[in-house]
Structure 1
Amino acid sequence: MTSDQKLDILIVDDEPLARGRIKSLCNRMTNINRIDMASGGREALDIISENCPAILLLDIDMPDLSGMDVAKRCQQLATAPEIIFTTAHDRYAVEAFRYDAADYLLKPVKEELLREAVSRVQQRRQTDQTGLQPTGDRRLWVQDGDSAVQISSADIGWIEADRDYMRLCLPDRSYLVHEAMQSLLKRLPPGLFVRIHRSAAVNRNYVRDIRRKGRRKYLVMQNGTELTIGPSFVKSAMSALGN
């Protein structure tokens, strides 16, 4: 797939005004081909089966079948559409990315954020078909108490396992996400994070120094934190960090 190929989109929302507004935003984009609309989850599944759209702009709270249920069923398809959730609630954000969502946009959906999300999908599809790696920052939704917040992947200094979770360590605080390391790294910009241990990966831009003490090799991060490089990761980590 080349970057100028256009995408078919299915807008799924039980509110007519919301469907109409999102459609008007999509109509302004040059990288969109066909736009279909569904007023509920079951209708959406029928259209997906028939037309195989590239992207779902998917509401979550719907009376017949929720957006999460639609996303779960899409995972069982041989060719699943990319999903961009569009909802008025942030409380589902963390759960949404367990379904490998491309993005999670809060209503009223902003045109700039929708354009960015669709472009990311286009890049992801290009990567899948050509092996070319997209660049740039990516935003992640993380749980913060009873709500969810967005963080920039570029602000994450390192990632370390914490029981059944991954801890995203930022300069001023950290967040827990319930996701496997390998799955999480796939959602981050390629080449930005370097795996240094089975349970740790670092943002190369936050590494201040590489040191050795006896047989132990470790990294010193910008804030002084020391992270040990696992023996089986020394060669690949040193190569990736240019040392």
Structure 2
Amino acid sequence: MSEGWNILVVDDEPPIRAELRYLLEKDTRVGQIAEAGNVTEAVESILSNKPNVLFLDITMPGRSGIELAETLQNLKTPPVVVFVTAFAEFAADAYNLDAVDYVVKPVEDARLSKALDKIEAALGARRVIHAPRQPLRLTVDRGGKKVFIPAADVCYFEARADFCNAICAEGTYLINESISSLERRLVSEGFIRVHRSYLVNLEDVHNVEIGSTGLMELRLDRVTSTVPVSRRRAAEVKAHLGLA
């Protein structure tokens, strides 16, 4: 990757984060590096910066790195995870969560280099696996004509009786399909039902706010509008976003 990997280092001890950053910056494959001191900060950074690599401590105050890794598996394209911890007994749990490597503190330069090689292989395999797959396309109405758009172009769907509006960065299109039907078709594409009237592309969620009505609202990357989350679905949405 010519621009370098976008890495998030998650550890509750600043000196350890600083040391790992120092070691990572010596490798030419590494691009941007962000830091988080706990799982809540990590979730916020993941939503806003969308890292493709995560160096993750396991034992932290509050929620553990294992819990965060479990939550990340709900994403359509989760970051590649390397666990960094002082406790080797967690290795089995780490590999059960598809971590590409497990590095014991204090991290040594040579050992980290091996982890970076595994990251490179994992990211390369992911590109090969995903390359042949044709993106799912949806038939929408644009100016009275039927056209196809990639499902990934849709930020969210809003129900309108038996049809829906597909809200994209470049405009709003009509799709002659119910929101329940779209929910069933698009769950594997990273969409989640957050309200009886809204289906949201999880990849587009930038952050979470509490609106004037007291309901949770999702702010998205590519459009200025926010999407409300119903009280009934709030727990499920929080779990998908790693906030539960």
| TM-score, normalisation: structure 2 | 0.51
Aligned to 1:51: 49
User: For 1:4-43, what aligned pairs fall within 5 Å after superposition?
Assistant: 6-43=4-41
1:40-63, CA deviations, whole angstroms, 9 ceiling, x for partnerless residues?
A: 011101111111111111001100
Aligned alpha-carbon RMSD (Å): 1.6
1:27 to partner: Cα distance: 1.1
Secondary structure at the aligned position of 1:112 is classed as helix
**In 1, distance between residues paired with 2:81 and 2:123?**
12
Amino acid in the other structure paired with 1:67? G
Which amino acid is 1:36 matched to?
A: A
Q: CA deviation at 1:130?
A: 2.7
Distance in 2, matches of 1:92 and 1:127, equals 26
Which of residues 129, 133, 157 in structure 1 aligns to 2:127?
129
Deviation string 1:48-102 (CA, Å, 9 cap, x unpaired) is 1111111111001100210001101111111100100000000100011110001
**In the alignment, what sits opposite 2:116?**
118
TM-score norm. by structure 1 comes to 0.51
Give the whole-Å Cα distance in 2 for the aligned partners of 1:111 and 1:120: 15
What is the one-letter code of the residue matched to 2:126?
D
Write the mapping of 1:46-85 to structure 2, written as runs, cut at 5 A: 46-85=44-83
Report the number of matched residues: 130
Find the residue that maps to 1:9 and give its secondary structure: strand
Report the Cα distance in structure 2 between the residues aligned to 1:75 and 1:100, rounded to whole angstroms.
9
* Contact residue 105 and residue 114 of structure 1 kept, 8 A: yes
Provide the C-alpha distance between the structure 2 equivalents of 1:91 and 1:24, rounded to a whole number of angstroms.
26
Describe the SS at the equivalent of 1:92: helix
- Structure 2 counterpart of 1:206: none
1:5 shift after superposition: 5.2
Structure 2 residue runs of 5 or longer lacking an equivalent are 130-244
Counterpart residue identity of residue 60, structure 2: M
Q: Distance in 2 between matches of 1:49 and 1:30?
A: 25
Identity %: 34
**Structure 1 residues not aligned, in runs of 5+:** 132-243
Structure of higher RCO (CA pairs closer than 8 Å, 6+ residues apart): 2
1: distance between equivalents of 2:50 and 2:88?
Answer: 28
Alpha-carbon distance between aligned partners in 2 of 1:49 and 1:79, rounded to the nearest angstrom: 12
- Is the 2:80–2:122 contact (alpha carbons within 8 Å) kept by the matching residues of 1? no
1:100 aligns with 2:98: yes
**Cα distance in 1, alignment partners of residues 82 and 122 from structure 2:** 13
Q: AA paired with 2:7?
A: I
Instruction: Find out whether 1:89 has 2:90 as its counterpart.
Output: no
CA distance in 1, matches of 2:86, 2:128: 35
